[in-house]
Chains A and B, each alone.
Chain A
Amino acid sequence: MDQQGQNGLLATYREGWRNRGVLGFVISTMLIAFYVVLYWEHKVEARFGVAPLTALSESIGLRNRWYLYGVLYSVAMVGGGIYYLRRHGNSRYNRVRITVNVAIQIALGFTLPFVMPLFGGQEVYFSYFWPLKYDYLYPQTLESLPLYFAVYTVIGSLLAAPVLALVYGKRWYCSWVCGCGGLANTFGDPWRHLTSKSDKSWRFEKVSIGIVFVLALATTALIVVDWKIGAQHPTLHRVVAGNDWRDWSLKSFYGFAVGAVLAGVVGTGLYPLFGPRVWCRNFCPMAAMLGLIQKLGRYRITVKPGMCISCGNCSTYCEMGIDVRSYAQNDESFTRASCVGCGMCAHMCPRGVLKLESTGRRSLAVVDS
Chain B
Amino acid sequence: MRIVIIGNGVAGMEAAIAVREAEASWQITVISEESDHFFSRTALMWVCCGQMSHRDIEPFERDAYARFGFRRVRARAVGVDTRGHRVLLAGGLSPVPYDRLLIASGSAPRRGPWPGSDAHGVGHFVTMQDLSWYENEIHGGASRGGPPPRATAHLSATTADSPYQFREPGAELHGRVASKPAVIGGGLIGIEAAEVAVAAGLRPAFFIREEWFWPIALEPREAQWIGKRMGEHGVEVHLNHEVESLEVDPIGAVSAVKTNHGPYEADCVVIAIGVVPNTGWLANSDIERDERGGIVVDEALQTSAEDVLAAGDCASVRWFDGSRRPEQLWYTARDQGRIAGRGLLGNRSSYARGTWYNSAKLMDIEYTTAGLVNFDLERETNWFFEETGKVRSTTRVVSQDDRVVGFNMLGRRWDHTVLIKWIEERRSLSWVLPRLHQAAFDTELVPPLQAPGV
Using a CB–CB cutoff of 8 Å, the interface residues on chain A facing chain B are 2-3, 5-6, 9-16, 18-21, 90-93, 96, 193, 198-199, 304-313, 315-316, 325-326, 329, 343, 346-347, 350-352, 355-357
Interface residue B366 (Cβ < 8 Å from any Cβ of A) = yes
Give Cα A20 to B143, complex, Å.
Answer: 13
- Known contacts A19-B144, A307-B416: A13-B50 contact under CB 8 Å: yes
Q: List 21 A-B contacts (CB under 8 A).
A: A3-B232, A9-B51, A12-B50, A13-B47, A13-B50, A13-B52, A15-B144, A19-B145, A91-B443, A92-B447, A93-B443, A193-B56, A305-B417, A307-B359, A310-B42, A310-B330, A311-B46, A316-B53, A329-B334, A347-B443, A351-B359
Give Cα A5 to B233, complex, Å.
Answer: 12
Q: Are B417 and A329 in contact (CB under 8 A)?
A: no
CB-defined contacts of A11 to chain B, threshold 8 Å: 49-51, 199
Interface residue B59 (Cβ < 8 Å from any Cβ of A) = yes
Q: Are A351 and B361 in contact (CB under 8 A)?
A: yes
Interface residue B368 (Cβ < 8 Å from any Cβ of A) = yes
Q: How far is the CB of B438 from chain A (nearest CB, A)?
A: 11
CB-defined contacts of A308 to chain B, threshold 8 Å: 331
| Residues of A contacting B: mostly | loop
CB-defined contacts of B233 to chain A, threshold 8 Å: 3
CB-defined contacts of A199 to chain B, threshold 8 Å: 61
Q: Are A352 and B331 in contact (CB under 8 A)?
A: no
Q: Are A14 and B359 in contact (CB under 8 A)?
A: no
CB-defined contacts of B444 to chain A, threshold 8 Å: 93, 343, 355-357
* Residue tally, chain B, CB below 8 Å to A: 47
Using a CB–CB cutoff of 8 Å, the interface residues on chain B facing chain A are 10, 40, 42-43, 46-47, 49-53, 56-59, 61, 139, 143-145, 199, 229, 232-233, 330-331, 334, 357, 359-361, 364, 366, 368, 390, 392, 413-417, 441, 443-447
Which residue of chain B has the shortest Cβ distance to A341 in the bound complex?
A: B444
Complex partner residue of A14 from B50, B361, B415, CB under 8 angstroms:
B50
CB-defined contacts of A356 to chain B, threshold 8 Å: 443-444
CB-defined contacts of A14 to chain B, threshold 8 Å: 50, 139, 143-144
Which residue of chain A has the shortest Cβ distance to B232 in the bound complex?
A: A3
- Known contacts A6-B364, A19-B145, A329-B59: A313-B392 contact under CB 8 Å: no
Instruction: Please provide the 10 A-B residue pairs with the shortest distance between their CB atoms, ordered closest to farther.
Output: A352-B413, A14-B50, A311-B43, A350-B361, A19-B144, A10-B199, A10-B49, A13-B143, A13-B50, A309-B42
Complex partner residue of A343 from B42, B357, B443, CB under 8 angstroms:
B443
Q: Are A312 and B59 in contact (CB under 8 A)?
A: yes
CB-defined contacts of A2 to chain B, threshold 8 Å: 364, 392
Which residue of chain A has the shortest Cβ distance to B44 in the bound complex?
A: A311
Give Cα A36 to B13, complex, Å.
Answer: 49
